[in-house]
Amino acid sequence: MQKKTVLVTGGAGFIGSHVSVELINAGYDLVVADDLSNCDMTNFEGLKQITGRDDIPFHQMTFCDEAATEKLFSENKIDAVIHFAAFKAVGESCAEPLKYYGNNLKSLINVLESARRHGCRNILFSSSCTVYGEPEKTPVTEQTPRQPATSPYGNTKQISEDILRDSVKAYGNIRGIALRYFNPIGAHPTALMGELPRGVPNNLVPYITQTAIGKRECLSVFGNDYPTPDGTNLRDYIDIVDLAKAHVCAVRRMIDDKMEADYEIFNVGTGKPASVLDLVNAFEKVSGEKLNWKFAPRRAGDVIAIWADPSLANEKLGWKAGRTIEDSLLAAWNWEKKLAR
């Protein structure tokens, strides 16, 4: 039987590269494409080392380029697409909304157009728990109402879900799954891939590890007066390898014709909330490092508390998160130390 080929857009990035490893481990062939606007080739090189595959096709391109997208689909027999390629900094999206709407929506539309033309039925969209906004109750299920987005970035995730849903409904020759993930953290256990932000990190764990290694002077914990047990935000932190495995389960569900509807949504999280201080304390424990941190005023747009009810993904995808926060933080710390060598 011929191997199925998956196109991973944004495949050199943090999530895309980890998903690519798990797809190869599961027996799929890959085509990887990335414009390298928010990453370099470090993770892609790590992907090749981990899998022992030196022959993974890589295309440096933007999916906002209609002709380049069409060319990629016409030159490759693609059975499924996982669409990661998007700008993702919340603060920047507030400062430059047109940049975000232009890139994130146009790239998805071009992928859908080319997929339809070339008989690629299966589209997996990288969505986010940001679509829930500040939920009225937690944990959130897939039926929890979406709230108005708190940033243009979050709004592009909501609109992209709607574009995929409406396209599936209208055209009949494509189907889609949106994975709404919570807060991905960690690195590959080999320390050959991890989160590699350009400039000042937007995410908590790279800021923690960069502070511990001496790249950053001090970690700011934004807000200590939230209505939570320790006054800091509550989040659902999911290990990057666990998250990657959920994508493989979703791709398999599409390719094996196991979908129960042509458009499906799944939460990908642990179902266990952890506070910012929980993460700081867990990092100090696993690393043996004392972190220099301080409380700072609340940050605009931060949700108080959100975590997943992942039972639908557990049941329908046959997937469950397995790694602990300590596992994730130790992997992230080993990655940071390797970068410093």
pLDDT in tens, 86-116: 999 888 999 999 999 999 999 999 999 999 9
Residue bearing the bigger pLDDT, 197 or 123: 123
- Omega before 201 within 30 of 0, i.e. cis: no
Q: Average pLDDT, whole number, for the chain? A: 96
Q: Counting Cβ atoms within 10 Å, is residue 57 exposed (0-12), middle (13-18) or buried (19+)?
A: middle
pLDDT digits (tens, 9 = 90+) for 283-294: 999 999 999 999
Q: How far is C-alpha 36 from the geometric centre of its chain's CA atoms?
A: 16
Mean pLDDT of 324-332: 98
* pLDDT tens column, 179-227: 999 999 999 999 999 999 888 888 999 999 999 999 999 999 999 999 9
DSSP character at residue 218:
-
Q: At residue 1, does pLDDT exceed 70?
A: no
DSSP readout, 227-265? SSTTSS-EE-EEEHHHHHHHHHHHHHHHHTT--SSSEEE
Task: Report yes or no: 304 and 134 within 8 Å, Cβ to Cβ.
Answer: yes
Phi, psi for 264 (deg, rounded to 5): -130, 150
Positions marked active-site: 153
Kindly report, residue by residue over 125-184, the tens digit of the pLDDT: 999 999 999 999 999 999 999 999 888 999 999 999 999 999 999 999 999 999 999 999
Average pLDDT of span 22-49: 97
Confidence of residue 250 (pLDDT cuts 50, 70, 90): very high
The pLDDT of residue 317 is 98
CATH class (in words) of the domain with range 5-185+238-269: alpha beta
Three-state DSSP class for 249? helix
Per-residue model confidence (pLDDT) at position 333: 98
Q: Where are the domains of the chain?
A: 5-185+238-269
Task: Give the Cα separation of 49 and 210 in Å (integer).
Answer: 25
The better pLDDT of the pair 91, 64 is held by 64
